[in-house]
Amino acid sequence: MHIVFSEKCLEYWYPGHPESPDRVYQAYKLLRDRGFRFVNAEPCSDDELLLVHSREFVERIKSEIFYDPDTPSLPGIYEYAKLAAGAAIRSMEIALGGEKTFSLMRPPGHHAGINGRALGASTLGFCYFNNIAIACKKALRKVSRVAIIDIDAHHGNGTQEIFFGNPNVLFVSLHRYGGVYPGTGERSVGNCLNYPLTYAVGDAEYLRTLGSALKEVEKFDPDLIAVSAGFDTHKNDPVCSLGLSFESYVMIGQMIAELGRKTFAVLEGGYGRDFPKCILNFLEGLEQI
C-alpha cells in the first residue's frame, strides 16, 4: 500500500475551520509509525484541472478573489488545491500499475462541480477542485470503465454533476440525507446510484447498503475503482455521522477489495479525534485481500 502525501498540504489553515491541517498530520503520523510506504505528491497541471472544471471557475480560484461561506479564499490556495489534485492523479497511476494507493491530502474535492457549487448547493463544502474526478477523467485515457465509490457522509454532488450521463463511469454514493449539506442525492439518476440514509444507521444497515451498492459496481465491471474516502461517518464525528464503529472501516475496505479490481482512494472528510484510526482500519481492510 502506497500513501501519496506532501507536508505542504499542512501549511494553510483558517481559524476555527474543521478542515484543519492537524487532522491530516495526526493521520500521517499514525500511518508513518505503522510502516506504510509514502510517495511524494506533485501538483497537477492547469490543463488537468480543465478536464473537469470550466476555465472560468479555475481562474476564479487562481485569482484568490472569491467568496464562499465555508470554503475560504486563502493565500496560495490555488497551488495547494493543485497539489491535492496531483496527488489523486499519482494515486490513480500507481493503482493502474497494480498497487493499491491512498492520497492523504487536503483540501478535499468531491463537492466541487464543473463551475464550482454543484447541483444547486449553497457552498463549495470545503472543496476547491474535484481531485478524484480529475484523476478518473485522466484514467479514462487508459481504461474503458471507472467506478467511483463515495463513502463520505455527505453526497458527492460535484462528482455526480461532472460524470452524470457518462457511460464509462459509474458513480455510487452512500450518504446522510435530510437536513444535511449539500441536500442532494435523494435518488439515483442514470449512471449515478445514490443510497441516502436518513439517520445514523450504524454498522449493520450501512454494511448491508454498501453490499447492495457493490453488487451494482460488480455488474458494471470496472477496470478501475476510485474511492472518495470520507470518515465523517464515524459515530463520534463532530460534523456529521452515520453511527459507524472503528470495526466497520475494516469491513468497508475488505468489501471493496473483494471486488478484485485495481483500486485507489482519495481523502475527503472526517473531522473527529478518531479520524486517524478510521483511516488506518480502512486501509488495513483494503490491503487484506
pLDDT in tens, 79-119: 999 999 999 999 999 999 999 999 999 999 999 999 999 99
| pLDDT at residue 288, rounded to an integer | 84
Count Cβ atoms within 10 A of the Cβ of residue 182 and give its class: 0-12 exposed, 13-18 middle, 19 or more buried: buried
Quote the CA–CA distance of 282 and 227 in Å, as a whole number: 11
Joined together, the cell numbers standing for residue 147 give: 467506478
- Architecture field, domain 2-287: 3-Layer(aba) Sandwich (3.40)
- Model-level pTM? 0.97
Residues marked active site are found at: 111
DSSP conformation letters of 25-50: HHHHHHHHHTT-EEEE--PPPHHHHT
Q: What is the pLDDT of residue 10?
A: 98
Name the grid cell of 265: 482512494
Strand order in the sheet with 37-40: 37-40, 2-5, 101-103, 262-267, 224-229, 146-150, 169-176, 192-197
Cell numbers 486501509 correspond to 283
What is the per-residue pLDDT for 65? 84
- Amino acid occupying residue 14: Y
Rounded distance between C-alpha atoms, residue 102 and residue 127, angstroms:
18
Residue-wise pLDDT for 34-83, tens only, equals 999 999 999 999 999 999 999 999 999 999 888 999 999 999 999 999 99
Mean pLDDT by 10 residues, the chain (289 residues): 98 95 98 98 98 98 91 96 99 98 99 98 98 99 99 99 99 98 98 98 99 99 99 98 98 99 99 97 93
How high is the pLDDT of residue 216?
99
What pLDDT sits at residue 289? 64
Contact 122, 182 (CB under 8 A): yes
State how beta strands 101-103 and 112-113 pair: unpaired
